[in-house]
Amino acid sequence: MIVLLHKVFLMTKTSLKPYNTFGINASCDRLFSFSSVDELSERLNEIDRQTPFLILGGGSNVLFTEDFHGTILRNAIKGIVVVQEKENTVIVEAGGGMVWHEFVHWTIQNDFGGIENLSLIPGSVGAAPMQNIGAYGVEIKDVFHSLDAYEIETGKIRTFDLPSCQFGYRESVFKRVLRNQFVIVKVRFELQKSGHHRLNTSYGMINEELTKKGIENPTIKDVSDAVIAIRQSKLPDPKEIGNSGSFFKNPILPNSQIEKLKSEFPDIPVYPVDENHSKTAAGWLIEQDGWKGYREGDFGVHQRQALVLVNYGQASGKEIYDLSERIIASIKDKFGIELEREVNIY
């Protein structure tokens, strides 16, 4: 029996196509899933720590440009528990291997507010803090309480509170300094009970979408439904067209540079960040530069959202990477802005 289970979880030379939303057909030497910390620990003892390994969640923020010569560990730790309830708020703990939207869906069914604007983001709960996922004016850091992470080197569980995660725009300590050193096993969020939650409908098209439906006093679910409708209208479904959401980050620039750009390109979108910096929209820059809808073979730039690179079927990761290089060079040439990738490249 033990041998049998072993075979189910520990595979050799595996195609990664089902495990990355880009649908890239690279392979890895070995892949295994773990659904508890004990299992993770056991599996880690089986592999040679000197060979490369990678911890994968939903595979929604990676681009494999070549075969991965090492072991891939897939987090399958599930479960949701309300760990604390106060008059107006709850602290909810979710397993790192849960599908992110399934967790969002659960919070909405329970009428807890805070992550409805983050509906339908592909990926897992454990991957969400890695890059401080965000959409429609809300980021994970706004509702984050703490997380438990397994330290690969020592086998110990360490708890990270908000400051120790060092969240920034699509950034955290796990993406940089502690990259590949920890496996996020549980994440806790502080959510508001309905009636005590202020909905954030000002960003993007949420208000327009609610008006279109004739909704004047939206509920948490109404906002989630609006976000789902907007996302579905703009962003390709990875089940149909391979992609990993925004491929690039929106550039944050000094205001002096923004002013110069505005004089040359009066329509450039500008969002204030702090006193001295503003963000502009990479999707706008890429569209203005003529790349929106570009297609060559099976790779290209999405037709409705220029920030999303796509795999129409058989594209290789290298082709998509090379396209991103061409886009970066072209944007640098036209606007003098160096785009940075949001997606992790392997």
Tell me the chain's radius of gyration from C-alpha atoms: 21
Query: Residue 5 contacts by C-beta under 8 Å, 6 or more apart in sequence?
Result: none
Quick one: 78 or 234, whose CB is closer to ligand EPU?
Answer: 234
Q: Active-site residue 170, yes or no?
A: yes
Q: Using CA atoms, how far apart are residues 162 and 160, in angstroms rounded to an integer?
A: 7
- CB nearer to ligand EPU: pick between 55 and 343: 343
Is 84 in contact with 60 (CB distance < 8 Å)? Answer: no
Least gap, CB of 156 to ligand EPU (angstroms): 32
Active site residue 325: no
Closest to 49 (Cα-Cα) out of 163, 151, 165: 151
- CB-nearer residue toward ligand EPU: 34 or 144: 144
Q: Which of 119, 224, 246, 278 is catalytic?
A: 246
Q: What amino acid is encoded at 274 in this protein? A: D
Catalytic residue of the set 93, 116, 139, 342? 342
Element spanning 272, H or E:
strand 270-272
Whichever of 185 and 227 has its CB closer to ligand EPU, that residue is: 227
- For the bound state, the minimum distance from the C-beta of residue 224 to ligand EPU, rounded and expressed in Å, comes to 14
For the bound state, the minimum distance from the C-beta of residue 228 to ligand EPU, rounded and expressed in Å, comes to: 12
Residue closer to ligand EPU by CB (options 120, 149) is 120
One DSSP character per residue, 56-118 reads ESSS-SEE-SS-EEEEEEEE----EEEEEE-SSEEEEEEETTSBHHHHHHHHHHTTEESSGGG
Three-state DSSP at 11 gives strand
Judge whether 151 counts as a catalytic residue: no
Nearest to 231 by CA among 196, 203, 259, 255: 203
Residue with tokens 């090379």: 322
What is the C-alpha to C-alpha distance for residues 27 and 68, in angstroms, rounded to an integer?
6
Which of 189, 220, 198, 187 shows the shortest CA–CA distance to 84?
189
- CB-closest chain residue to ligand EPU: 245
What residues line the site for ligand EPU (CB under 6 A)?
A: 135-136, 204, 234, 245-246, 249-250, 269, 281, 283-284, 287, 292, 305-307, 342
For residues 25 and 305, which CB has a smaller minimum distance to ligand EPU in the complex?
A: 305
- What's the closest the beta carbon of residue 136 comes to ligand EPU, in angstroms? 4
CA gap 54, 52 in Å, rounded: 7
Select which of 30, 43, 74, 170 is catalytic.
Answer: 170
Which residues are known to be catalytic? Answer: 170, 246, 342
